[in-house]
Amino acid sequence: MTTFLGIPSVGAPVRSSPGVGHLQGSESFPTAARRALGDSQLRSNIGRATTTIRGKRARVVGEVPDWEELREAGRTLKASTMARLPELLGQLEEQVTAAGGTVHWARDAAEANAIVTRLVQATGADEVVKVKSMATQEIGLNEALEAAGISAWETDLAELIVQLGHDLPSHILVPAIHRNRSEIREIFRREMPGLGTELPPDLTDEPRELAMTARRHLRRTFLRAQVAISGANFAVAETGTLSVVESEGNGRMCLTLPRTLITVMGIEKVVPTWQDLEVFLQLLPRSSTGERMNPYTSMWTGVTPGDGPQEVHLVLLDNGRTAVLADEVGREALHCIRCSACLNVCPVYERTGGHAYGSVYPGPIGAVLSPQLTGMTGDAVNDSLPYASSLCGACYDVCPVKIDIPSILVELRAQHVEAAAASGRLPTPEAALMKAAAVSMTSPFRWRLAQRASRLGRLLARGRDGQRRIRSLPPPLSGWTGTRDLPEPPAETFRESWAREGRS
Amino acid sequence: MRIALFVTCLADTLYPSVARATVTVLERLGHEVVFPPGQTCCGQMHVNTGYQADALPVVRHHVEVFEPYDAVVAPSGSCVGSVRHQHARVARRAGDEALARRAEAGAARTYELSELLVDVLGVEDVGASFPHRVTYHPTCHSLRMLRVDDKPLRLLRNVRGLELVELPSAESCCGFGGTFALKNADTSTAMLADKMRHVVGTGAEICTAGDSSCLMHIGGGLSRLRSGVRTLHLAEILAATDDPGAEVAGQTVPVGVVR
Amino acid sequence: MSAAADGTAAVPDARSEVMARIRSALGEHPPVVEVTRGYRTSGEHRPGAAELLDLLQDRLVDYKAGVTRSTADQVPATVGGLLERLAGGGRVVVPPDLPGDWTAGADVLRDDGALTSAELDRVAGVVTACAVAVAETGTIVLDAGSGQGRRALSLVPDLHVCVVRADQVVQTVPEAVARLEPRRPLTWISGPSATSDIELNRVEGVHGPRTLEVVLVTG
C-alpha cells in the first residue's frame, strides 16, 4: 500500500504492493504441497538436483579453512549494514551519481515497474534483454513491460526455459530445477521455431546440445539489443560499484553490449565498502553453485566512457523491505544473499519443490521473507508459510550469513496467531486446545487429570497384547493416523508408578 | 551426583519405559535421581505452533519447578533444545527480563541424556548389553540445536553385543516437527517414507534415537507398514544388561526382548 | 540526479519516503554492530610463488580452461601456437595496447573502439593480458587496464587467450580485492562460460567464450 498523504509515512510498516508481482500464491502451502507431492516426475527431478548440489557445496566449503570466520564476517557485515542503511544508501546514491549513473527510488512494485517502463520508452526500444534477477521477478516487471508493448527476453538458460514454458520459477538459483532434460527439449521444440530459431530435427536432450541451442537462439538478440535490465548481487556504498555474479555469460552480454543498462535492486543489497566484497565473493559461489568461484562476476561503477553502457540507471526498491526491517527478529531475513543453499538442504523443499510456496522466494528463506514482505493477516495464503517447516535447522547450518531461519519461523508463527486473534478469527479449535493445554500444564493436579484423560486412548487401541496400536483417530488427529500408528497409552504414567513406589 | 529428572510430557504420558530407563542408567552409575513432582511440560508445542502467550506461564512453571536443582536431565534433545534456546526468548518477547535470566540459568544446568553422560559424568561405557543389530537416527534438535555430535554413537559403541549399522542420509529430518506432522501431514509423510526406506534398508532390528517424539513418528510409520523394525529410545538400550534380574526397557519387557 | 527530478514522483518523493520508513523501522537507537574479520586476508604463499602457479593451473584445469606455461620470451610462440590450433588461423582481435610481438604472425585486428558487436562476433578469438589472478579459486580478473581493452573484446569472440604473469598471481580473494581499483570496469573470469541449469549438469561454454586458454608466464 503506497501512501500519498503529503508527509513521509512514519506509522505502521508499509508492505509490498498487493496484487502486483509474485510474492504470494493463490492457495495455502499444505494445499499446494499436496499437489506437488503427487507429481512423481517433479519429486524425482528436484530430489536428484538437490542431492547433487548438496554434495558439491559440501566439498568446496570443506576446503576453506576459515569458512566459519567468513560466515561470521558476513553476518556482522549484514547486521551492521542494516543498522546504517540510510547513511549507506545516501552514500551509494552519491557515488553512482558522481560516476555518471542515475538513481531512482521506488516505494513499491508498481512504482518500480512504472520507472523502468518509462526509462525503456525514453530510449525508443521495444525490447529489452534481462539478466536473471529476483527483484524484477518479485515486482512482475516482465508483465508490466509486456503491458506497455515492450518484449522482455530472459537470457539466463533456466529463466529462458521458464519463460518459454510459460511457467513459474521454482528455485532462486536454478529456476527450472523442476524440469528435466527431456521436458526442456520439448519446450525448445515447441517454442523456438516461432521465435525464429530453427532446430535440427534430430535435437537430442543432451544438456550440452540444449545449451548450445540456447546460445544460438539468444546470440542475435544480444547483438541487437539496445536496453538491458539487471538486478545486482551487491552494491558498494563507498564506491558506487554494482556487481552481478553469474555463470553463462548472458549477464556479461547484457551488462556490456546494450547502450542503456537499468538495474533494479532491493535496498538491502548495499554493502558498506569495497573490501567487504572479499567476504561475499567467497561465501556466495561456494554456497550457491558449489563452485570455488562462479565463471563470471561483473562489476561496474556508473558509466565508463567507451566501455559498456553509456546510460546507466539504478532503481532502489523498497516493496515491503522497510516493514521487514521494522521487525527486530524478522529483519535478519534481509541479510539473505540469495545463494539458495537453504533450499537445497531443506527436506520440505526437496519434497514439494518451489511452486508450493507461491512466491518467487521459495524454500526456508522464502518462508520467512515472503510473509514479511506481504504482511500476515491471520488467514492470508502467506500465513501458512512459516508453518511449512519441521524446524529441523538444516537451513541455519548452511546459511553463509548465518540467518537463524528456525527462530524467525517461530517468531512469525507467533505473529500469525496474534494477527488471527486481532482480526477476530480466534478462538479456533486449535487455539482452544492450546489454551486448555497451557492451563493444565501450569498445575500438576490438572496435568494429572489431563494425562488420565489421554488414557481413554487405550479404548481405541487394537491388536495383540504388547503390540496394541491406535490406527485411526478423528480430525485433526487423523492427519497423524492416516499414515502412522500411535502406541497404546500405558496403564500407568511414569509419575504414577514413581509415586506408587513411594519415591521422590 | 544428585540429578533431577525432567521426564518430558511425552515420556511421562506415553513412554514411561524411557523415563524408567533413564533412571536405571543413572542409578547404575551411582547417582541419585529425583523426580520434581510439580513438573509438566516445557511448552515447546505452544512456542512452535505460535502460541507464545499461552507458552509463557508454562515456561515460568518449568523454570520454577527446576530452579532448586544443580543438574537436570531429560531423555530428549528436543525438549532440552526448547529449554536452552526458547525459554529465555519467550520470556523476553513478553517483556519479562527477570524470567529470561532465570530461564538462562536453568538452561545452563539442563542436559540431554547423552550430554550428561559423556560431558558431565565423563562416561562412555554405561555397562549395558544389548545383542541386537541397531541403527541410530540423529534427531534434528539433538544434532543441530544441541550439537550432541557423536556422543550417542560413542555410548552405543560401548554397549556389549550391539551391532551398530550406519543409517544412510541419517541427518535428514524424519518429518515429525511437532504440529508440522498434522498441519503439513502430506509433506511430513513424504519425509517419513524416505526415512523409513533408509531404516529398513540397513537391515537393523532396531532404530534408536534420543527423542521419543521422532521415534513415535518413525515407529508409527514402521508399525503401519508392518516392517518388522522396531524403535527404542537410546536410554532403553543403555539401560539393558544381560543380568536376568535387571530392569530393561520398562518393567514389562523381559531381558533382551524388544517391545 | 535523483528520481524527484523526473517530475513524476508524488510528494513526498519516493526517496524521502523510503528513507523515512527506514529510519522509523530502525528506531531512535539502531543496534551498533561490530564487524568481525577473523578470516584470512592473505595466503601463506607470496604472490607468484611456484605453489600458487601450480594451484592456479590445477583450479583452471578443473574448470576446463586450458593452461600453457611459457617464459616471457616464448610468449609469442606460445600464443601463436594456441591461435594456430584453436582459431584455425582465423582473425583475432586484440586491445590497442597489447604488446605487438605477442601476436606476431597472426591475422590481427587491433581494436580502435569502433568495432561493433556484430564485427566482434565475426572474429575467431581475442588475446588479452589480465590485472590479477587468484590461485585458490582459479580466477583471472580483467580491469580494462594495460593490454586488456574494453569488456566486449573478451566477451563476444569464442576463444579467449589470456596471458597471466607470475607476479600477478595471488593466493586468496582478499589479496585480489586489495589490488584492484573498484571504479574500473571489472570482469572476474573462472573458466569458460558454463551453465548448470539442466539437471545441475555443468556444461562448459554458453554465451561467453567457449574456450579459455591461459598462458602462464614464468621467469
For C4-21, how does the pLDDT look when each residue is reduced to its tens digit (9 = 90+)?
Answer: 445 454 457 999 999 999
Cis? peptide before A490, omega within 30° of 0: no
Whether C182 and A236 lie within 8 Å, measured CB to CB? yes
Strands (E), chain B: 2-5, 32-34, 72-74, 110-112, 133-136, 163-165, 206-209, 230-233
- Minimal Cα–Cα distance from A206 to chain B, Å? 30
**Residue C95 structural domain:** 50-218
Domain boundaries, chain A: 32-317, 327-422, 444-500
Whether A76 and C35 lie within 8 Å, measured CB to CB? yes
Exposure class string for B73-107: b at 16+ Cβ within 10 A, else e: bbbbbbbbbbbbbbbbbbbebbebeebbebbbebb
Q: Which residues of A touch C58 (CB under 8 A)?
A: none
Whether B20 and A497 lie within 8 Å, measured CB to CB? yes
Exposure class string for A186-204: b at 16+ Cβ within 10 A, else e: ebbeebbeeeebeeeeeee
Residue C114 lies in a domain: yes
Q: Which residues of A touch C136 (CB under 8 A)?
A: 292
* Pair A495, B23: CB distance under 8 Å: no
* Pair A305, A21: CB distance under 8 Å: no
Q: Please provide the CATH number assigned to the domain covering A327-422.
A: 1.10.1060.10
Ranges of residues in chain A with a pLDDT under 70 are 1-10, 465-466, 504
What pLDDT sits at residue A427?
78
Residue type, A339: C
Residue C147 lies in a domain: yes
Q: Which residue is listed with cell 503401519?
A: B224
Whether A293 and C139 lie within 8 Å, measured CB to CB? yes
- Minimal Cα–Cα distance from C192 to chain A, Å? 7
Whether A295 and C190 lie within 8 Å, measured CB to CB? yes
Whether C208 and A72 lie within 8 Å, measured CB to CB? no
pLDDT in tens, A441-476: 999 999 999 999 988 888 889 887 667 899 999 888
- Average pLDDT along chain C: 93
pLDDT in tens, C45-93: 999 999 999 999 999 999 999 999 999 999 999 999 999 999 888 999 9
Whether A480 and B172 lie within 8 Å, measured CB to CB? no
Considering only residues B8 and C203, tell me which one the structure prediction assigns the higher pLDDT.
Answer: B8
**Residue of A398, A389, A382 whose CA lies nearest to A352:** A389
Residue C3 lies in a domain: no
How many Å apart are CA C99 and CA C83, to the nearest integer?
16
Q: Is CATH 3.40.50 what the domain over B133-239 is classified as, yes or no? A: yes
How many Å apart are CA A365 and CA A343, to the nearest integer?
8
Of the candidates B52, B144, B183, the beta carbon closest to that of A394 is on: B144
**Closest CA in chain A for residue C4:** A104
pLDDT for residue C1 is more than 70: no
Q: If you ran DSSP here, which 8-state letter would residue B68 be given?
A: T
Distance of CA A497 to the CA centre of its chain: 50
Whether A393 and B144 lie within 8 Å, measured CB to CB? yes
Q: Which residues of A touch B89 (CB under 8 A)?
A: 407
Q: Which three cell numbers stand for residue A93?
A: 546514491
What total number of domains does chain C contain? 1
Task: Tell me, yes or no, whether chains C and B touch by having 3 or more C-beta pairs under 8 A.
Answer: no
Q: What is the CA radius of gyration of chain A?
A: 26
Q: Is CATH 1.10.645.10 what the domain over A32-317 is classified as, yes or no? A: no
Of the candidates C14, C38, C188, the beta carbon closest to that of A69 is on: C38
Whether B190 and A476 lie within 8 Å, measured CB to CB? no
Q: Quick one: B257 exposed, middle or buried, by C-beta within 10 A (0-12, 13-18, 19+)?
A: exposed
* Pair A365, A342: CB distance under 8 Å: yes
Helix spans in B29-160 (H): 44-49, 52-66, 77-85, 87-93, 97-108, 113-115, 140, 151-157
Of the candidates A239, A247, A253, the beta carbon closest to that of C195 is on: A247
- Minimal Cα–Cα distance from B154 to chain A, Å? 23
Q: If you ran DSSP here, which 8-state letter would residue A304 be given?
A: B
CATH of the domain at C101: 3.40.50.10420
Q: Is A433 on the interface with B (CB under 8 A)?
A: no
**Closest CA in chain C for residue A330:** C25
pLDDT in tens, C116-165: 999 999 999 999 999 999 999 999 999 999 999 999 999 999 999 999 99
Residue C16 lies in a domain: no
Q: What is the pLDDT along chain B (259 residues), one digit of tens a residue?
A: 999 999 999 999 999 999 999 999 999 999 999 999 999 999 999 999 999 999 999 999 999 999 999 999 999 999 999 999 999 999 999 999 999 999 999 999 999 999 999 999 999 999 999 999 999 999 999 999 999 999 999 999 999 999 999 999 999 999 999 999 999 999 999 999 999 999 999 999 999 999 999 999 999 999 999 999 999 999 999 999 987 655 444 443 433 334 4
Whether C188 and A297 lie within 8 Å, measured CB to CB? yes
- Minimal Cα–Cα distance from C180 to chain A, Å? 10
Q: Which three cell numbers stand for residue A455?
A: 488414557
| Backbone angle region of A306, left / alpha / beta, with phi > 0 → left and psi within -120 to 50 → alpha | left
Q: How many CB atoms lie within 10 A of CB A51?
A: 13
**Residue of A359, A318, A361, A312 whose CA lies nearest to A337:** A361
Of the candidates A29, A392, A485, the beta carbon closest to that of B173 is on: A392
Q: Is C42 on the interface with A (CB under 8 A)?
A: no
Domain boundaries, chain B: 2-120, 133-239
Element (H, E) at A299: strand A296-301
Residue C211 lies in a domain: yes
Q: Is B156 on the interface with A (CB under 8 A)?
A: no
Q: How many CB atoms lie within 10 A of CB C28?
A: 6
Residue C39 lies in a domain: no
What pLDDT sits at residue B250?
41
Residue C25 lies in a domain: no
